[in-house]
A and B are shown apart, each in its own frame.
Chain A
Amino acid sequence: MIPLDRYPKEITLRDDTHAVLRPMIPEDADGVWSFLRQLPEIDKSHFHEDVDRRETVERWAKSLDYDAALPILAIRGDRVVGSATLYRNRTGWKQRVGIVRILVAADFRHQGLGTALIREIRHLGEKVALNYLLAEVIEEQEAAVRALERMGFEKAFVYRNFVNDRKGRLHNLVVLLHPMSGLEEDTFY
Chain B
Amino acid sequence: MGLRAGHDLLYFGRWRRMDATTIDVRKAHHQMKRLLGEISIALETEDMPAARLDLEKALEALYTAESGEGGPDALRYLDHALSYAHRVIGDLLHEKGLPPHSPADFVGWYDAGEVPFREDW
Contact = CB atoms under 8 A, between A and B. Distances in A.
Given A104-B121, A146-B118, A150-B118, A180 B97 contact: no
Nearest to A12: B99
B91 interface: yes
A152 B120 contact: no
A12 B98 contact: yes
Interface string A118-139: 0110110110000000000000
Contact of A151 (B48, B87, B118): B87
A150 B87 contact: yes
Interface in A154-176: none
A49 interface: no
Interface residues of A, number: 33
A14 B102 contact: yes
A115 B7 CA distance: 19
Contact of A126 (B49, B99, B118, B121): B49
A133 to B, nearest CB: 10
Interface string B68-100: 000000000000000100010011001001111
B66 interface: no
Interface stretch (B9-17, B35-43, B50-58, B108-116): B50-58
Given A9-B97, A16-B99, A109 B91 contact: no
A11 B48 CA distance: 16
Contacts of A10: 97
A16 B102 CA distance: 13
A89 interface: no
A11 B121 contact: no
Contacts of B54: 152
Q: Which of B50, B53, B119 is packed against the most chain A CB atoms within 10 Å?
A: B50
A181 B50 contact: yes
Given A146-B119, A180-B49, A182-B49, 11 more contacts: A10-B97, A12-B99, A16-B99, A115-B121, A125-B50, A126-B50, A143-B119, A146-B118, A150-B118, A151-B87, A181-B52
Q: Which of B54, B87, B100 is packed against the most chain A CB atoms within 10 Å?
A: B100
A112 B49 contact: no
Contacts of A64: none
A150 B90 CA distance: 11
B121 A114 contact: yes
Contacts of B119: 110, 143, 146
Interface string A86-124: 000000000000000000100001111111100110110
24 contacts: A11-B97, A12-B97, A12-B99, A14-B99, A16-B99, A18-B97, A104-B121, A111-B120, A115-B90, A115-B100, A115-B120, A116-B94, A116-B100, A119-B91, A119-B94, A123-B48, A146-B121, A147-B120, A150-B83, A150-B87, A151-B87, A152-B54, A180-B49, A181-B49
